[in-house]
Amino acid sequence: MNKLSLITGATSGFGEAIARKFAANGHSLIIAGRRTERLEALATELRNSHSTQVLPLTLDVRDRDQVTQTINALGDEWKNIDVLVNNAGLASGANPIQDGDIDDWDKMIETNVSGLLYVSRAVIPLLVKRGQGHIVNIGSTAGKEVYKNGNVYCASKHAVDAITKGMRIDLLEHGVKVTQIAPGAAETEFSEVRFHGDKEKAKSVYNGYKPMEAKDIAELVYYSTSLPSHLCINDLVVTSLAQANSFYIDRK
Ligand code: NDP
Ligand code: 8X3
């Protein structure tokens, strides 16, 4: 089998674009997410267009038992994972802390923090056993700075930032690379999910400037995983030209 990559959150946005980029460059893929139909459709498309092997896995990263059992039940050939992209994640709501919806908070912490940990805990022993591999965690500029009404989402991405650093230290002696890609605003389904399906409000996030696209992030993830074996990008913060950080966007 070619280089084998497991991508979480491959039904949309960054994850889907990363799957396309990896498949176009000869990777075999395990693609995971909750929306089975989208996974099946993407798997069929990538198998047809790139003659690559693709295994779709319906998986809710918040479900610890499901994650553990699904990864443990992979056939031997699918256990030789070279690259794990921990991408599944979401923002839910954007309220001041005093008005926050606790269900939104739970959803973000369970997905962005616990979910990333559950998948990692199941996959890392497979990498350690082979003494090689690469974990790419999708963080955010929200993991670098805290902005108004970002409270819990920002906290969850700060956790990703810290977990990434911790992983890199612990996996150092095992030859496993650990990279964080921390994007600013990119137009995907992210804002629609954040604003609970309000398309108008979601669209307004990108008014007056050119945000990044999912394929931009896919380029960077692919770049970070294609470097010579002695090189590891530790942390890569990336925004569109119009964005300086979480606070400053040049809207015309
Ligand atoms: P999308 O909403 O387009 O994609 C999110 C993906 O995560 C979907 O494939 C979704 O799949 C998956 N997902 C969500 N919850 C779960 C779950 N419980 N179990 C499994 N999969 C899940 O957003 P993006 O592509 O923009 O987001 C991808 C990552 O990038 C997230 O971690 C996000 O926080 C981060 N990010 C996004 C930025 C942006 O501006 N867009 C900027 C910085 C970081 P499904 O619903 O089928 O399960
Ligand atoms: C997503 C980018 O600016 O909405 O992580 O936090 S932002």
Is 206 near ligand 1, meaning CB less than 6 Å away?
no
Rounded CA-CA distance 209/232 in Å is 32
211 lines ligand 1 (CB under 6 A): no
Query: Residue-wise pLDDT tens for the chain (252 aa)?
Result: 689 999 999 999 999 999 999 999 999 999 999 999 999 999 999 999 999 999 999 999 999 999 999 999 999 999 999 999 999 999 999 999 999 999 999 999 999 999 999 999 999 999 999 999 999 999 999 999 999 999 999 999 999 999 999 999 999 999 999 999 999 999 999 999 999 999 999 999 999 999 999 999 999 999 999 999 999 999 999 999 999 999 999 999
For residue 248, indicate whether it is catalytic.
Answer: no
CB neighbour class for 197 (10 Å; exposed up to 12, middle 13-18, buried from 19): exposed
**Which residues sit with their C-beta closer than 6 Å to ligand 2?**
140-142, 150, 184-185, 246
Contact status, residue 66 vs residue 59, Cβ threshold 8 Å = yes
**What is the atom index within ligand 1 of the atom nearest the CA of 184?**
42
Per DSSP, the three-state class of 6 is strand
Distance 103 CA to ligand 2 centre (A): 19
pLDDT of residue 2: 86
- Ligand sitting nearest the alpha carbon of 115: 1
**Ligand 1 center to 170 CA (angstroms):** 26
Give the Cα separation of 179 and 201 in Å (integer): 32
Ligand 2: centre distance to CA 129 (Å): 35
Q: What are the domain boundaries of the chain?
A: 4-238
Cα 132 to Cα 26: distance, rounded to the nearest angstrom: 19
| C-alpha neighbours within 13 Å on the C-beta side of residue 89 | 26
- Percentage of the chain modeled with pLDDT above 90: 99
Q: Is 71 in the pocket of ligand 1 (CB under 6 A)?
A: no
CA of 63 to the centre of ligand 2 (A): 24
- Of the residues 118, 147, 153, 223, only one is catalytic, namely 153
pLDDT in tens, 136-195: 999 999 999 999 999 999 999 999 999 999 999 999 999 999 999 999 999 999 999 999
Ligand 2 binding pocket mutation candidate from 112, 140, 160, 192 (most atoms within 8 A of CB)? 140
In ligand 2, which atom is closest to the CA atom of 194?
A: 4
To the question of pTM greater than 0.95 for the whole model, the response is: yes
Tokens describing residue 81: 């994972």
Torsions phi, psi for 207 (to 5 deg): -70, 135
Superfamily of domain 4-238: NAD(P)-binding Rossmann-like Domain (3.40.50.720)
